[in-house]
Amino acid sequence: MLNRIEDKMPELIQGLVKTIKAYQMYGLNHPSFRNFYVPFYDKLNGFLEEYGLLDLQIEKFTILNAGQVVYQENEKDLSIAFKLFRDGIRNINITEGLTPDELLHFIETIGQTNKDQDLALSLWESNFSHLTFYVVEEEDETLNYLIPDPQYYDIDYDARIRDILDHERIDLRAVIDPDLNDKELAKVNAEINEEKAVQVGPAITTMISFLNYEKSTEIIDSLGELLERCINQRDFFNARRIVQKLNEFPEIKIIKKFENEKIILGFADLPETLDDQAFNDFTAFLGFFSPESIPFLIRMSARIRRKERRDSLRQRIAYLAQGDPTPILPFLTGSDTPVLVNAVSILGLMRIKKIADYFEPLYQHPNPGVRIALIEALFNIKEPAIILRFLEDPDQGVRINTLQALTALQYQRIFNRIVKRLREKDFLTLDIAEQKEYINCLVGVGDPKRTARLLEKILFKWVLFGAKKYRVMRKLSAQGLAQLAEESAQKALAAGCRRKNKDIRQACEMAMRNR
């Protein structure tokens, strides 16, 4: 049997060494690491199932099993044996039942390249179930085992007890029952479980309290480290608290460290994945960034699918720009459409009139998404006259957005043009959504009385179109009337509901219902 173990041992140890090296090169999550780790675990597990135990003795540069050298590396920096030996580890036992997670953690622990690491301490803290190790401690002969004598005083010790009882108001006859009831027990257990999580929040509160008392390099540096940790763990609530405090010290440019392409583009998935509270914390945290980070932020936020979050981030970037469009302008000439759209939207949100000039070359942009973004931006800077350009756009979505923008801006000068468009023969060839938008625009921009008269005319009298198509116009005008607060409009609708003409009656009834 010994021979069989001896045969298997070199392969096993080689597997261990290769797996550790793969971890050091690739980290735990890389597929290349798994290629080493999985077969090694299978091999080790098979060995443990067969023999129950893997017993390894550690010497300075060698690892032995049953007195036979199974590993040797004399180069200190490379030698696993030396690394273990240096921290006092002299023996490692791995027993049957070792779980994949335990092995993974073992590899991670001994694969650490941090020279300050205490391997014995790390292994001990890991609390393995199927892995034990023996550590020798430095012997220290200078320990003082002498027990000091107590001080004796010439006092009445019983009187001292009486004084204490009196001072503390203690009744020694009081019964003490230290048993915890179920509720108390459950509370204590809950607190023990809570304690397992890392308490970053209270640590930040503590360090902030320190800085409220005194400025300290150690505390500032540690808060910087914590900030990094919070950002890596997507804890933007606490990240924000740290930056807010450190910003009180103008010479500390704490956020600078994070204003780089790699970190900011690494945030790209967050707007899609964070919950609402965490997302709000994230956007608030971005508020601490400087305009220098804007180019990265524009790229990071360009492809967010969730509209409300995209808009929220655009608002934040616009705020960061502080009225200066310079860092955004280069993106207007780029070929990446989502980035271009993002840049246009953000410029619009900055609400500075002069940006309309920068948009000029983009009005004929072949992508309708860009043209819609331009309409939104022009809406934000209140430029209806320029928006009007898009009313004849070949794309229906662009036209609808145009009408909506003009409605919202209450651009009255368009009233007659809309009336004219309604009269045009091909109006009924438009999609119903666009037709509705025309009526909405009419209602939105026109004088209410005048609009009511016009709509009433369409509803009851207009004979411009053939009978079948006219049904649509009646419906649209009834809906328009329903949107008007004018008394004449309401009367017209009420009258329509009493009409014999089925089309008029149905259109008015439906509009009243939907009002």
Partner 1 sequence: MSLYRSGKDLINQFYALVKSTQIYDLKNDVVIAAADKFVGHIGKFLANVPQVEFIRYRDYIFFNKLRMRFEIEGYASLQFMNESYKRLKLKSITFLPGVTPDEIIRFASLFREDHDVFLKSMAGGDIRSVTVQFAGPEEEIPDFLQNGEQTKRAYFKSLKATKNLIQNLWTNQPVNVKSFRRVVYTLIDSISQDEYGVIALTTIKNFDEYTFNHSLNVGILALAMGQRLGLDKKNLVKLGTAGLLHDIGKVEINKELLYKIGKLSETEWDRLKLHSLFSVRQILKTRGLDEISISVLVTAYQHHWNFNGTGYPARDQEEILPSFLSRIIRICDAYDAMTTPRPYQPVPYIPALAVRVIWERKGIFFDPDLVKIFVQLFGLYPVGSCLELSTGDIAIALKENTGHIDRPIIKVVVDQHREPVDGALIDLSVTAGVNVTRAVYPQKYRINPAVYLT
User: What's the min distance (Å) between Cβ of 90 and partner 1?
Assistant: 15
Q: How far apart are CA 18 and CA 25, in angstroms?
A: 10
Length of the chain measured in residues: 515
Q: Using the rule CB under 8 A, is 219 a contact of partner 1? A: yes
| Residue among 216, 322, 501, 514 that touches partner 1 (CB under 8 A) | 216
Calculated CA dihedral for residues 277, 278, 283, 286, nearest 10 degrees: 150
What backbone torsions phi and psi does residue 462 show, to the nearest 5 degrees? -60, 135
User: What's the min distance (Å) between Cβ of 221 and partner 1?
Assistant: 8
| Residue among 25, 38, 121, 433 that touches partner 1 (CB under 8 A) | 121
Q: Count of residues binding partner 1 (CB under 8 A)?
A: 65
Per DSSP bridges, beta strands 89-95 and 68-72 are unpaired
Q: Using the rule CB under 8 A, is 225 a contact of partner 1? A: yes
Between CA 285 and CA 296, with CA 290 as vertex, the angle to 5 degrees is 85
Q: How far apart are CA 80 and CA 69, in angstroms?
A: 14
159 exposure class (CB count in 10 Å sphere: 0-12, 13-18, 19+): exposed
- Here the tokens at position 143 are 């320990």
Site for partner 1 in 169-198 (CB under 8 A): 169-170, 172, 176, 178-180, 184-185, 187-189, 191-192, 194-196, 198
Closer to partner 1 by CB, 46 or 201: give it. 201
Q: Using the rule CB under 8 A, is 129 a contact of partner 1? A: yes
| Residue 97 half-sphere exposure toward CB, CA atoms < 13 A | 7
| Residue among 140, 166, 251, 360 that touches partner 1 (CB under 8 A) | 140
Q: Using the rule CB under 8 A, is 206 a contact of partner 1? A: yes
Closer to partner 1 by CB, 1 or 198: give it. 198
Q: Using the rule CB under 8 A, is 230 a contact of partner 1? A: no
Q: Using the rule CB under 8 A, is 218 a contact of partner 1? A: yes
- Here the tokens at position 328 are 């955004």
- Pattern 144-173, partner 1, x by CB under 8 A: xx-xxxxxxx-x-xx-xx--xx--xxx-x-
Site for partner 1 in 73-112 (CB under 8 A): 97
- Here the tokens at position 327 are 């860092």
The 10 Å Cβ neighbour count of residue 512 is: 16
Cα 147 to Cα 140, 144, 153, 203: the distances in Å are 18, 8, 19, 39
Residue ranges with strand state E in 124-234: 131-135
Closer to partner 1 by CB, 182 or 360: give it. 182
- Applying CB under 8 A, which residues contact partner 1? 97, 116, 118, 120-121, 124-125, 127, 129, 137-138, 140, 142-145, 147-153, 155, 157-158, 160-161, 164-165, 168-170, 172, 176, 178-180, 184-185, 187-189, 191-192, 194-196, 198-200, 202-203, 205-207, 209-210, 213, 216, 218-219, 222, 225-226
